Structure 1
């Protein structure tokens, strides 16, 4: 559930994103918030966030909050968090938030390390499949300074946000299978290796084949630990894979996908084929 409610200033521009009230509750505007004396740096978040079709996914983030001596970051009505946005930083950009504000621990009298989580709920179409790929990180803070959070005097509320503080990939979780036409083949004879590459669709909560993608057919000789690429096979319009292979040694066969910005790398479980 989103807990960041948007408060518009008299100008109609996005002026404040308050962590304290549900999104459905509008706050009567009376003035414009002043720029809060804070800044944000050293943002850390996972390089990639893999999201399936049903399970909630949490991604931890940390950042350094630097603040003036006039800002009480431990006040009950001070809130800060990091969030993700897709594309340019604007009022209409797709955004992903955490369920709760970040928690901050003092490092010095004017700096703190803040930690929180981005929570993604694919079953709620959050985000859309078309938004897979690179997302940017922004951080914000708001100080209500004792104001009624349902109807504050906005001129007494401090707010600050910073965009472009990092990036991460929000990816559609991938699956890959491998099957063989026979698990026992005469030496030098060919057999068929089939499989399917699919990925999560956040719009209908199903997995669909990933079409026209290069996938490596790999082999690992029995008694060894390393797979070697035999050839590259492209998925068809349904994500299916099919090719022939020659059995020279007993060992394990699998398909392996290197991944794209929208879809993570994945390797199928190896299937053993014995040579007679």
Structure 2
């Protein structure tokens, strides 16, 4: 369920009056009046927002808008995710700062926060996926523009990955066993759990080289465990690399050195 948004003229400014319904925040269809434009929207520097199990994650948002009368300070920013989850920044609580680039253009910035242990807003594993960034910006001549999805961005589970290559030292031509585990942050119980059936690359870097090459791709088992064997040929470093998914952040281990005699 989505909540509704009302626009009200208060003195010399346009104010956003947000009424939450259930666990959601306010949001309305696209609309506006006048020739005001939204020129650019950036969330978290263009990178996905990656959230672990305990720490609150902050994501800076900037909205650049233009109007022939100049941009007023009455800007509202909200983000809505799946199921629905939300985060918001309010202009009337001093959480948004607008900086003039010229007489007609300003960039308004605020910070969205994502708390994996929150009771409302960003809640549970259903929050992973594509989020919409909505904004309402007003001008000094009372023009305003509202975008329900001015841009989209990804919110991802943090992931961890381990590697262990053994034995070392090992004779040339003998088997090297490379084990590891891929885990992801669970926002329902705030613990890390093994991530099953994910494709992970085993990579090798020869001693003295700066470049890793992929030897093979394997899948994690039901508990997130990884295990494979390779034939020992020369000294070097083994690592696992997970490319990530739209809902899970990528991760790559450091190299684990094996000496070949």
Which structure shows the bigger proportion of residues in strand conformation?
2
- Per the TM alignment, residue 22 of structure 1 is displaced from its structure 2 partner at its CA by 11
Q: Which runs of 5+ in 1 are unaligned?
A: 1-5, 24-33, 144-156
Residues 62-101 of structure 1 show CA distances to partners (whole Å, capped at 9, x for unaligned) of 12123464x8724xxxx323332225xxxx8422224863
Task: Report matched runs for 1:68-83 at 5 Å.
Answer: 69=69, 73-74=72-73, 79-83=74-78
Equivalent in the alignment of 2:66: 66
Equivalent in the alignment of 1:138: 134
Equivalent in the alignment of 2:104: 110
- 8 Å contact kept, 2:60–2:111: yes
Task: Report matched runs for 1:182-197 at 5 Å.
Answer: 182-197=167-182
- 8 Å contact kept, 1:47–1:167: no
Assess, with a 3 A threshold, how the Cα gap between structure 1 residues 197 and 171 changes in structure 2: closer, same or farther. Answer: same
Looking at structure 1, the residues matched to 219 and 89 of structure 2 have their Cα atoms a distance apart, in angstroms, of: 38
Looking at structure 2, the residues matched to 269 and 138 of structure 1 have their Cα atoms a distance apart, in angstroms, of: 39
Task: Report matched runs for 1:191-206 at 5 Å.
Answer: 191-206=176-191
Task: Report matched runs for 1:170-189 at 5 Å.
Answer: 170-189=155-174
Looking at structure 2, the residues matched to 260 and 15 of structure 1 have their Cα atoms a distance apart, in angstroms, of: 37
- Per the TM alignment, residue 116 of structure 1 is displaced from its structure 2 partner at its CA by 1.6
How many correspondences in the alignment? Answer: 235
Looking at structure 1, the residues matched to 197 and 81 of structure 2 have their Cα atoms a distance apart, in angstroms, of: 26
RMSD: 3.1
TM-score by length of 2: 0.78
TM-score by length of 1: 0.74
Task: Give the 3-state SS of the residue equivalent to 2:72 in structure 1.
Answer: coil
Equivalent in the alignment of 1:96: 87
Task: Give the 3-state SS of the residue equivalent to 2:210 in structure 1.
Answer: coil
